[in-house]
Chains A and B, each alone.
Chain A
Amino acid sequence: MSRLNPLTPLGLLLVLGAAVSFVLDGVALVGLHGWLVVVLACGLRVGVAELARTHLVFVPFALGVLMTNAVSRSGAVLAELGPLDVTDVGVRVGLALALRVLVVAVPAVVVGRRTDPTRLVVAAMQHLPLRPRGGFAVLTAHRMLADMPQRWQLLLAAGRSRAPLDRRGAPRLGVCGYARAAMGLLVGGIRRGNRIADALDVRGIGAPARTARLQEPFSRADALVAAVVVLGAVTAAVGPSTAVGP
């Protein structure tokens, strides 16, 4: 992955997301997911533990999708849950949609975790219409994002120290407390943004012509990886579903 242009895996993910949007065939999705896991495990050397953990994160969401679809579609009734009918079409579509969640989300998260933000922004500045001012703003914002959880916790802690106590003596923050913390996060962020913008201006970041030290060219490896991944994905999706039949 370090030898690739960071835009290549991202582009592949976008293509994957777009292509999968029109697939409701469970068998094809299973095949596709199998191939993607292979790519992640061999190509990016993602460990089994990390893969499993990433899958687990999305299981509740996928289950929610499955359950709603199972009871909300017409078709032959398989079971009745109170006023709701579980239908075969519903289960099939629900399963496909739930699978789609995994197919799309797991590679996105894994690749996202391995993408170096600086390289990505540099590549975007060189190959996409992203101007340096925007690029540096994005990079700075990324730094801000990195310590945002900490600031968020700090604001919540500050809120708790002022919040009324419940019967057991624990502070009750409530929705208002969270709203106040969100407001604090925003205001603090805007303030820092203003200061950073001035600092960037002083360093002439908006100058019309710039040279760049870092380069992110596309190489033959990018084309090769893209071709292998796409061909493998098509084979893995179409192969089993034609073998099983519709």
Chain B
Amino acid sequence: MTTTPVERPPDQSLDDFSAVFDAYFSEIHRYVVQRLGPGPAEDVVAEAFLTAFRKRARYDPAKAGVRTWLYGIVTNLIHKHRRTEVRTLRAVDRHGPPVDAPSHEERVAAQVSAESLRPALAEAIARLGRGERDVLLLTALAGLSHEEIAAALGISYGTVGSRLSRARAKIRAALGGTNPMEANHG
């Protein structure tokens, strides 16, 4: 039922900010809904685009694509809602899927996973350090590459890699895999 207008993604230009908003709204909004739930997401996304517009003069296309840059801005804003995020994760644990029975395209992609894994996995993500969680979710949910995450968060490529492997090791351990300390060596 949901459609978005067909449009060309802006060619890494902020001149037409309305086109930037149209092109990236759905994706950025979905990412924030996943992390914070639908209610807080609207405030955060509104603030993110207004922030982006205010800071557009500081955007450097040589460093990051517009999409990457927007993920960086919105990730910073998500930090103000850490408690909401943790609560959302723990609610996943109680309610099953955090979303209102997805439909259409979403449903095709989303697999209903083994219910028994949910509590441990959600708890493990809730317990990750902020930086680890950002890198994990920008990878898993937003599909950003190491380079893009480094640019979005203003950290080095190496830090992205080490945070991601720490996050993965902790999750593996929480799901009954290997000890995170050992996994770091492997």
Q: Judge: A and B partners, yes or no.
A: no
